[in-house]
Amino acid sequence: MRSIFLYAGQPDLRWIAWPFLLWGLMSGLFFLSSPVPLEKAYIYNYWQYVFILVLSVLALATVTQANPIGLLWGLVVAALLAAWHGFYDTVIQGMPRASGLSGFPIRFGNWSMIIAMLLVLFSALSTQMRVRSRICLLALAMLAMFASMASGSRSSLLPLPLLIAMLLIFRKDRFHRWILVIGLMGTILSGVILLNSDTLQQKLRLTEIVQDIQQVKKNNFDTSIGARFGMWEAAWQMFLRHPFIGIGITGYQPELKEMITRGEIPTFRPWSHAHSDMLHSMATRGIVGLLAYLGIILGPLVFFIRCLRHAISTGDAHQRVHAAAGILTIGSVFAFGLVSVVIYKSAFNGMTYALLVCVLAAQLVMARRSETGQPIR
């Protein structure tokens, strides 16, 4: 346990453990000091489970042996399940947007996209893996990407530039180069099909973007994009009025309704959150909440960047792909959080993010221990 919080091990788990500990303490204090109705307690009171999860995975990583393909099997199963739910919801059930078991299309689409991108990354960077296995991972990535598209979640496209940049930057073998060529051809072909298919544009909710912007110009903010503009403006105003600890974790929606009534912001459906992790944390928890949120993003990011540098310097493909996967996961969750609430007000998202970050970190810790032959103190 001391190696997690006190000692600068290699790699240094303190970059993950301390940010999650401080985030958990902040969340607990805000929960205890707010009048949260019992029936809604589960929305805000999941921080202790996240911390227990983080502590357990990191502690196990310091004493157990690595399973190099354990995470990959999890991604394979997740991709198959995502593809099935995408097919079942849209084709068999005839639903306009796939949502899986979560019941939320955005959540389903975003996590399906993370699964797809991680599989692409593992396929491209796992140079020690057989070509047949890398092709299978790429095919599974396409299935998960189909599930994401079936959800109609436009925010799922936001982290794709990060994936493309990583594929272009890293040193490539022949299979990796073929992935880039096929990806470029697929992108061009998809773009041509998309431009000439009104049905596909409607299915992916691209025409809705133009319609929403036109409605905003007509001062109608009661649309998907228009409401976000209004919620972001309201959250910023709340932060300016309560900059240190915010208006409280249950205060956003009541204050939003009051601001609409007073005519301070345009009229639209008053959501219970600001559709932005950063702005929602600023509005409801002030500077304290913003710093805690940035901590669980930037702390793990520093950890994986340092691990990536080590992997590149030693030429370790296993450590390189897991460090890159950690960076991609964190970047994706941050990108999703720019236009929706990912970490706050969702126990599923918060715990899944923490679990994925810690499992990737655990792979790196165990790989480094095998490399040096020294136990983590």
Question: What integer pLDDT is reported at residue 42 of this predicted model?
Answer: 63
Question: What integer pLDDT is reported at residue 346 of this predicted model?
Answer: 76
Cα 288 to Cα 164, 244, 246, distances in angstroms: 34, 6, 8
- Tokens at 66, concatenated: 């690595």
Question: What integer pLDDT is reported at residue 326 of this predicted model?
Answer: 97
Question: What integer pLDDT is reported at residue 331 of this predicted model?
Answer: 98
Give tens-digit pLDDT for 264-320: 999 898 888 999 999 999 999 999 999 999 999 999 999 999 999 999 999 899 999
- Left (φ > 0), alpha (ψ -120 to 50) or beta: where does 286 sit? left
pLDDT in tens, the chain (377 residues): 556 877 777 788 899 999 998 998 888 888 888 777 766 666 666 777 787 788 888 877 776 776 667 889 999 999 999 999 999 999 999 998 999 887 889 999 999 999 999 999 999 999 889 999 999 999 999 999 999 999 988 899 999 999 999 999 988 888 988 988 888 888 788 777 777 777 766 766 777 887 888 888 888 888 889 999 999 999 999 999 999 999 998 889 999 999 999 999 998 988 889 999 999 999 999 999 999 999 999 999 999 999 999 999 998 999 999 999 999 999 999 999 999 989 877 788 888 999 999 999 999 998 887 776 554 44
Question: What integer pLDDT is reported at residue 291 of this predicted model?
Answer: 96
Q: Residue with structure tokens 């950063």? A: 278
Sequence-distant (6+) residues with CB within 8 A of 269 are 222, 227
Domain ranges of the chain: 70-341
Question: What integer pLDDT is reported at residue 2 of this predicted model?
Answer: 59
Question: What integer pLDDT is reported at residue 189 of this predicted model?
Answer: 83
- Tokens at 188, concatenated: 């061009």
Question: What integer pLDDT is reported at residue 133 of this predicted model?
Answer: 93
How far apart are alpha carbons 203 and 220 in whole angstroms? 23
Question: What integer pLDDT is reported at residue 112 of this predicted model?
Answer: 96
Question: What integer pLDDT is reported at residue 377 of this predicted model?
Answer: 45
Question: What integer pLDDT is reported at residue 183 of this predicted model?
Answer: 84
Question: What integer pLDDT is reported at residue 330 of this predicted model?
Answer: 98
3-class secondary structure per residue, 241-273: HCCCCCCCCCCHHHHHHHHHHCCCCCCCCCCCC
How far apart are alpha carbons 362 and 300 in whole angstroms? 12
Give tens-digit pLDDT for 33-71: 877 776 666 666 677 778 778 888 887 777 677 666 788
Question: What integer pLDDT is reported at residue 376 of this predicted model?
Answer: 46
State the DSSP string of 106-127: HHHHHHHHHHHHHHHHHHHH-T
How far apart are alpha carbons 237 and 235 in whole angstroms? 5
Helix (H) or strand (E) holding 234: helix 224-241
